[in-house]
């Protein structure tokens, strides 16, 4: 059954513009942590992905996860908006090694019996979910030594949430870090990636080890 949150995200999905078929480097799949094309670090922060079980929380149209499948990862993408899994399957299913489901991040993590080596989220479910609820669940479903990573915009004043069904967690880096340590992660690194042009918003990329 659809929830008010799923309906909001479905309306967001309806406005989606497909990513370019080929990037500036001439490749047809790639992972992009930032909100700008051809900008920022690649997937290296996730470590060697061959044979690793990877979960993306809020996988959207699936383009980032598709790239990890080409690198030999066994990939699962979940997204709360139902049309996203359909589109991702139609677009990237031919690659093999990846599956997409419709689910809320908290529900999926509570229910799954799979243990993941890598969990990540790009402007995705991590940004829109209470970390106190989410991070311990992520940790519980990760193998020891695995990598958890996520990106979003830098901290900003929290907007008035009265009546809002969804909102972004605009946490400063030290709060992301504290929440990760509290949930059983170590080696926490939070880096700010400057925007490609002065005056524009940068990106915060946080990564930690399940240990
Ligand atoms: C800003 S989009 C980013 C999509 C994708 N990660 C990308 O970089 O193109 C946020 C995505 O997270 C999904 N999302 C938001 N909250 C979620 C939740 N609680 N559980 C699962 N997916 C969620 C939305 O439906 C949407 O597809």
pLDDT digits (tens, 9 = 90+) for 40-93: 999 999 999 999 999 999 999 999 999 999 999 999 999 999 999 999 999 999
pLDDT at 1 over 70: no
Domains of the chain: 4-25+41-210 (3.40.50.150)
Nearest residue (CA) to ligand 1, atom 2: 124
pLDDT at 113 over 60: yes
| Structure confidence by residue, pLDDT tens digits, 8-22 | 999 999 998 999 999
CB 80 within 8 A of CB 6: yes
pLDDT of residue 87: 97
Among 80, 104, 126, 203, say which to mutate for ligand 1: greatest number of ligand atoms within 8 Å of CB.
80
Distance CA 64, CA 41 (A): 13
Average pLDDT, the chain: 95
CB 45 within 8 A of CB 207: yes
Instruction: Quote the tokens at residue 37.
Output: 């094309």
Distance CA 188, CA 149 (A): 10
Distance CA 139, CA 8 (A): 28
| Structure confidence by residue, pLDDT tens digits, 114-152 | 999 999 999 999 999 999 999 999 999 999 999 999 999
Share of the chain above pLDDT 70, in %: 100
Nearest residue (CA) to ligand 1, atom 1: 123
pTM of the predicted model as reported, rounded to 2 decimal places: 0.97
Share of the chain above pLDDT 90, in %: 90
Nearest residue (CA) to ligand 1, atom 8: 122
pLDDT at 181 over 60: yes
Q: How far is the CA of 145 from the centre of ligand 1 (A)?
A: 25
Q: How far is the CA of 128 from the centre of ligand 1 (A)?
A: 8
Q: How far is the CA of 79 from the centre of ligand 1 (A)?
A: 6
């Amino acid at each position: 059954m659809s929830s008010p949150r799923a309906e909001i995200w479905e309306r967001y999905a309806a406005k989606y513009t497909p990513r370019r078929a080929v990037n500036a480097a001439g490749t047809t799949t790639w992972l992009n942590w930032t909100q700008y094309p051809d900008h920022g670090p690649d997937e290296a922060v996730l470590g060697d992905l061959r044979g690793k079980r990877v979960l993306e929380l809020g996988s959207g149209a699936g383009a980032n996860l598709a790239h990890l499948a080409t690198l030999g990862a066994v990939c699962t993408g979940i997204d709360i908006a139902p049309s996203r899994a359909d589109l991702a399957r139609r677009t990237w299913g031919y690659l093999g090694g990846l599956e997409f489901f419709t689910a809320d991040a908290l529900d999926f993590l509570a229910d799954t019996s799979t243990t993941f080596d890598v969990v990540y989220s790009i402007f995705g479910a991590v940004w829109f979910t209470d970390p106190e609820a989410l991070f311990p669940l992520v940790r519980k479903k990760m193998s020891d030594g695995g990598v958890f990573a996520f990106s979003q915009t830098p901290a900003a004043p929290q907007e008035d949430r009265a009546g809002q069904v969804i909102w972004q967690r605009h946490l400063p880096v030290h709060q992301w870090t504290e929440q990760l340590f509290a949930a059983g992660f170590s080696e926490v690194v939070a880096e700010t990636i400057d925007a490609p042009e002065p005056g524009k918003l940068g990106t915060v990329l946080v990564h930690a080890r399940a240990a």
